[in-house]
Every structure is written in C-alpha cells, then in structure tokens.
C-alpha cells in the first residue's frame, strides 16, 4: 500500500453521507483513523443527528454541511465551507445518488447522479492538484452495475451511471496522476440493501412499458458491510484510474483490465490505422 493511500489522518468529504452507504463509508473511514469527515447531504435533520453520533464516538472529527448536489451554488458554498473547516480535503467520495426514472423525478435524479459528481470532482481537481500548489488526493466516484448491462426498467439511471464510469476512465488518462497527484477511482456497485432499491416499481420510467419486465428483475442484493469492505480495499490498493466491482457479497475486485479490453476492441473501430490509442500509452 502506498503511503499516500492510507486512511489514517486523511480528511474526507462524502456526499449523500447522512444515511445508507454514505453514512457507512463515513463511519468506516473514521474507524480506520481518518483525520476528519465532512458529511454533505440535503437531509439536514438526519445529517445533524448522524454527525452528533459520530462525534460522540470519534472525538469531534465530523461535520455536517447541508448541500443539494443538484445545485451548483450550494456545491460551491459547501465545498468552500469544508475547506475552511479542514484546511484541506484529501479524499472525496461522490456517493450521492438517486435511482428514480419516474417522469417527475428523473431530471433531478440525473442532476444528482451525474452533474453533481462532475461538479464536485472538478472542484476537487482545482483544490488538490499538485501542479498548482495542492497536496494531491483521491476522488472516488460511485457508478453501478446498471452502467454495464441493460437495466431496462430504469434506463435514465443506467445512463447517468454509465456517464460516471466513462467520466472517470476519460479523466484518468496515464498522464493525469503524474501531473496532478490525484488518484481517480471508480466503484461499480451492485444492488445493495439500501433505500435506493426500495419500491422499484414506482421508480420506473413508464409503468405500462416496464410492467412485463418487472417479474424478470432479480436483484441479488449484497449487504452494506460488503460494499464498505470493497471501498476500503479499493482505497488501500487501487491504482490511479482503476475501476472496481462490488457485488454479491464478494470481495472487491479490480476489473480495470476487463473494462479496458472491452473498450479497447470498440476503440479499434473508431481509430484510423497507425494512430496511437490511449490504451497503447504507458
């Protein structure tokens, strides 16, 4: 494990951290010696209560900042508040996410899943990059198994998570880490026992179209503890730009070679003969 990839002493910012997986990630990092954790969430009451609980156990190392990650002004203000409180941010976990393709929800959900992730990543880049005076760090973006398969009942959610996956792959070109000192990691998360997947029938884009599909949707849910263990393993072992899979209560797995091989075959169709691709760069 590289020294800079140890959890101990690091200062974390976690979106969607008031409950579910975000809260589990936060408590886990503190258990492993994190210096501070900032919880960003729109759920003010839940976030405040959770941080009070954390601080009673972990000696006032956590703060709560109310933030709607679909709102650019709130993202900027919240990021600045965390920097002012901690002086630096070492690790960002873009965990906030909504799986809901219902007609009155999907646009907001897409703003949270994709644009919120991109915005906070860009602010992390500006703050962390060593070539402009920052200290480097790690940015973890949470994708989904829905990004890699046809999850037809929630195609908008699937598209937003595919965007997160491709964003991380495209950002973390070989020269990126060497230039910025920022390690981008992407977690492909399988179905996990959280509220995200509750009452999935009401979250489809069209109940009439999706009704025949629903009986065939089999979500083999993993426990939250399994996803948390995968994030820990990825943080401690993941090389810059790597993509990890957490599914079926199995140990976290680096699937970067598989993803790169699949995309590499597609890229061959797009690049003229004799032109070097990103996959050829060292």
Given a contact cutoff of 8 angstroms between Cβ atoms, the answer to whether 206 and 238 are in contact is no
Task: Spell out the residues 6+ positions from residue 106 whose beta carbon is closer than 8 angstroms to its own.
Answer: 100, 156, 157, 205
Catalytic residue among 157, 216, 263, 279: 157
Does the annotation mark 157 as catalytic? yes
Q: Enter the tokens of residue 67.
A: 């933030």
**Count of CB atoms situated within 10 Å of the CB of 248:** 11
Beta strands of 190-274 (E only): which ranges?
243-246, 253-254
Q: Which residues contact 35 (CB under 8 A, 6 or more apart)?
A: 8, 9, 10, 11, 61, 86, 90
Give the pairing of strands 243-246 and 91-94.
unpaired
Q: Which residues contact 154 (CB under 8 A, 6 or more apart)?
A: 99, 100, 101, 146, 200, 203, 204, 205
Q: Say if residues 196 and 16 touch (Cβ distance below 8 Å).
A: no
Q: Each residue of 17-55: b (16+ CB within 10 Å) or e?
A: bbbbbbbbbbbbbbeeebbbbbbbbbbeebbeebbeebe
- What torsion, rounded to 10 degrees, do the Cα atoms 74, 75, 77, 82 define? 130
Strands (E), 190-260: 243-246, 253-254
Separation of alpha carbons 2 and 231, rounded Å: 16
Looking at the annotation, which residues are catalytic? Answer: 157
């Amino acid at each position: 494990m590289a020294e800079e990839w140890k959890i101990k002493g690091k200062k974390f910012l976690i979106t969607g951290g008031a409950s579910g997986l975000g809260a589990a990630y936060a408590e886990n990092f503190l258990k492993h010696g994190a210096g501070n954790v900032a919880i960003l969430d729109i759920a003010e009451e839940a976030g405040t209560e959770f941080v009070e609980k954390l601080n009673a156990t972990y000696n006032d190392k956590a703060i709560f900042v109310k933030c709607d990650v679909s709102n650019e002004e709130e993202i900027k203000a919240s990021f600045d508040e965390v920097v002012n409180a901690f002086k630096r941010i070492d690790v960002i976990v873009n965990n906030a996410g909504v799986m809901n393709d219902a007609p009155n929800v999907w646009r907001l959900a897409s703003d949270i899943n994709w644009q919120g992730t991109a915005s906070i990543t860009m602010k992390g880049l500006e703050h962390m990059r060593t070539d402009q005076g920052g200290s480097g760090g790690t940015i973890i973006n949470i994708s989904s198994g829905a990004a890699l398969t046809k999850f037809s009942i929630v195609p908008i959610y699937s598209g937003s998570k595919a965007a997160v996956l491709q964003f991380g792959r495209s950002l973390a070109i070989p020269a990126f880490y060497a230039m910025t000192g920022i390690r981008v990691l992407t977690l492909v998360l399988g179905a996990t026992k959280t509220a995200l997947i509750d009452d999935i029938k009401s979250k489809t884009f069209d109940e009439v179209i999706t009704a025949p599909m629903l009986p065939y949707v089999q979500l083999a849910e993993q426990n939250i503890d399994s996803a948390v263990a995968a994030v820990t393993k990825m943080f401690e072992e993941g090389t810059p730009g790597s993509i990890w899979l957490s599914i079926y209560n199995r140990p976290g797995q680096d699937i970067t070679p598989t993803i790169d091989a699949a995309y590499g075959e597609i890229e061959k169709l797009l690049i003229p003969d004799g032109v070097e691709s990103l996959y050829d760069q060292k």
